[in-house]
Amino acid sequence: MDSPLVPFGRPPTERADAARNREVLLCTARAMIAELGADHVTMDGLAERAGLGKGTVFRRFGTRAGIFRALLDAEERRFQCEVLSGPPPLGPGGDPVDRLIAYGRARTRFLLERHEIARASFERKGVAPPAVGPNFSRPHIRMLLAQAALGLPDLDTLSLQLASALEGPALLFLVADLPPGGRAAGCAEDDLGALLADGWQTLVERIARR
Amino acid sequence: MDSPLVPFGRPPTERADAARNREVLLCTARAMIAELGADHVTMDGLAERAGLGKGTVFRRFGTRAGIFRALLDAEERRFQCEVLSGPPPLGPGGDPVDRLIAYGRARTRFLLERHEIARASFERKGVAPPAVGPNFSRPHIRMLLAQAALGLPDLDTLSLQLASALEGPALLFLVADLPPGGRAAGCAEDDLGALLADGWQTLVERIARR
């Protein structure tokens, strides 16, 4: 399923120059977003600043939204890498309930911090992508619930519901019509992030209570 | 917010004949969906069967998807009415934790049973509507959590997360590409419904455990 929040397969073999162009383009796009905001990143502007031809940008990303999907893809991979092999409490090694709490906190921050990129990755304004779903969160939550051995029945369903509890509010924030302007959006995002992270912790602590 | 799962305001004053036409059209649409499936309901077919002019159908619903939105709107009102004033355990009067469990069970069934209509209410195929959200579920869950007095902090956030846990999986099912054919879809829907209802009950019981 192609989704801005979920990696879609990169071609397994990528020629060295294509890989280098890709890295240069993503790096440049990141810098432009930080400087100008996502709204001001265009295919032409990106090509010019990266010193590459427009054809290269077009072949690589297809559409403007494709730039942002590729960025999210790269950041999602980095996030998953931290979760799967970084230090505890997010990475392996600690108590599974602590890890579940740390995961939800990190995931909330990840989703909200990237909401501008995620929004720009939609092909049409005001429309959620078809397959934004807890595709990584669900199996990860399921694994941690199993490790924690809490005596819960049907971890398949429960992990789907908890992944929805975790990712659903961030998705609603994503598709909501917010006032434009990075700073105002940034504030709402920080507040919401803290509330959702604490709410997630409450939920997990209650579920894990013996 | 206009959404197929959330009532949007009907004009406060509706002329008697307009109201009657509306009822006839919705009633006819329901019968046609049951007989033929949502895919075979068209503006022309509906007008003919209801014995009304095409102009009336067009003025009332705007687009084909509008028919299904109006149907969902009507059914959502009926559902909310049951929740707000029907008999316990769904309606008022019983233990708030039991009511919370009953609510999740009823809501899951409601969402899944109407997935064909909900899907047909999207203007474009494979695209989720912008504002499908737990708009009724959230305040209702919040109220019941408050009544249950479980010592939980920040019910605003927790009710949002639980509403997402409840409605998110049904929404994923809704936008997923399923094989066509009512019977096959009906099966998947029954199985999923039972699993989600039990999962919701587990979740609530854990949260409410003293």
Residue-wise pLDDT tens digits, B170-191: 887 776 655 444 444 456 677 8
**CATH 1.10.760.10 assigned to B16-208:** no
Q: How confident is the model at residue A124 (pLDDT cuts 50, 70, 90)?
A: low
The long-range contacts involving B174-177, CB below 8 angstroms and separated by at least 24 positions, are: B174/B111, B174/B115, B174/B118, B174/B119, B174/B128, B174/B132, B175/A130, B175/A131, B175/B119, B175/B126, B175/B127, B175/B128, B177/B126
The residue among B119, B105, B82, B113 whose CA lies nearest residue B4 is B119
- Which architecture characterizes domain A7-62 according to CATH? Orthogonal Bundle (1.10)
Tell me what the mean pLDDT of segment A134-151 comes to: 93
Residues of B in contact with A199 (CB under 8 A): 154, 157-158, 160-161
The string over A162-196, giving b where at least 16 C-beta atoms fall within 10 Å of a residue's C-beta and e elsewhere, is: bbbbbbbbbbbbbbeeeeeeeeebeeebeebbebb
Q: Tell me, what's the pLDDT at A5?
A: 41
- Contact B128/A128 with Cβ under 8 angstroms? yes
Q: Tell me, what's the pLDDT at B131?
A: 42
Q: How confident is the model at residue A174 (pLDDT cuts 50, 70, 90)?
A: confident
Position A21 pLDDT exceeds 70: yes
CA A83, A88, A93, A96 torsion-angle sign = negative
Position A168 pLDDT exceeds 80: yes
Q: How far is CA A162 from CA A104, A134, A147, B74, B126, in A?
A: 10, 9, 16, 30, 24
Domain boundaries, chain B: 16-208
Q: Tell me, what's the pLDDT at B32?
A: 95
Bridge partners (DSSP) of residue B128 are A128
CB contact under 8 A, A161 and B166: yes
Residue-wise pLDDT tens digits, A60-88: 999 999 999 999 999 999 999 999 999 99
Q: How confident is the model at residue A170 (pLDDT cuts 50, 70, 90)?
A: confident
State what percent of residues in chain B have pLDDT above 90. Answer: 62
Choose the mutation target among B105, B141, B152, B160 for the interface with A, i.e. most A CBs under 10 Å.
B160
CA angle A134–B79–B159, rounded 5-degree value: 45
Q: Which residue of A has its CA nearest to B123?
A: A127
Q: List phi, psi (to 5°) of B6.
A: -130, 135
Q: Which residue of B has its CA nearest to A127?
A: B130
Q: Which residue of B has its CA nearest to A155?
A: B199
Position B130 pLDDT exceeds 50: no
B159 Rama sector, left if φ>0, alpha if ψ -120 to 50, beta otherwise: alpha
Q: Tell me, what's the pLDDT at B61?
A: 92
Interface confidence, given as ipTM, is 0.81
CB contact under 8 A, A154 and B207: no
Q: Tell me, what's the pLDDT at A172?
A: 78
